[in-house]
Amino acid sequence: MKELKIIPVHIGIIMDGNGRWAEKRNLPRIAGHQEGIEAVRRTVQSAVKYNIKYLTLYSFSTENWKRPKEEIEFLFSLMEKNLIKEGENLHKNNIRVRFSGRRWELPSKLIEAMEYVENLTKNNTGLNLIFAINYGGRAEIIDGIKEIIKSGYRSEEINEELMSKFLYLPDVPEPDLIIRTSGEKRISNFLLWQSAYSEFYFTPVLWPDFDEKEFLKALFDYQKRKRKFGGVIYKK
């Protein structure tokens, strides 16, 4: 019987394949995004069930601005509506909702919805659910460097520990496991700094089809990983 012995503290997910899910059904791409919300709901439930402490969902990248205006607007309004709709429910489940990314470039109505859920859930102690919206790993590093310079640090004082403190969510541990759906095997600017020693799990399943069974497959695969962080594992 398979057993889950090692539970990752932080899981990051690159939720990819909404467009292809819709195309396969001759539906507009936005139908895939709509259906993707259900997968988000299922995944949050799974994360709670399997005691994951941090779950980061890559929701909109700094490169996704290249998409058609209508698709971008649909995505933002979908996020806004669902944050408002699910706020109370997330709160009841003791989930703390947070956001990562260049928030100030987003539409004001979406920012308001983000702030509403963030404030409502800020004292919760269960799952930390992080939505990476208008997030880019390079942008995060650049924004951190700007803050370091503004704070007046000298070059001798700059090291990895300091840089880590100037990322968007410095208290969040680095992801142990990064899952990407839809069969693509790339990082697409997700958590570049934090993923230096993350384990990766790729699945061909399209994001709207992702469910607890798929989540568990990733968790079981993670059991087999031997994390070394550049060191050596000594046999006893």
18, 26, 51, 64: the active-site residue: 64
Judge whether 201 and 177 are in contact, CB under 8 Å: yes
The CB-side HSE value for 119 (13 A sphere, CA atoms) comes to: 7
Judge whether 67 and 32 are in contact, CB under 8 Å: no
Is residue 168 a contact point for ligand IPE (CB under 6 A)? no
Judge whether 132 and 190 are in contact, CB under 8 Å: yes
Nearest CA to 29 among 65, 62, 82, 74?
Answer: 74
Q: How many CB atoms lie under 10 A from the CB of residue 103?
A: 15
Active-site residue, 211 included: no
The minimum distance between CB 79 and Mg ion, in angstroms, equals 17
16, 18, 128, 134: the active-site residue: 16
Active-site residue, 221 included: no
Q: Residue 210 binds which entry of Mg ion, ligand IPE, none, with Cβ cut-offs from 5 to 8 Å by kind?
A: none
Q: Which of residues 7-66 bind Mg ion (CB under 5 A)?
A: 16
Between 73 and 184, whose beta carbon lies closer to ligand IPE?
A: 184
Is residue 14 a contact point for ligand IPE (CB under 6 A)? yes
The minimum distance between CB 65 and Mg ion, in angstroms, equals 14
Contacting positions for Mg ion (CB under 5 A): 16
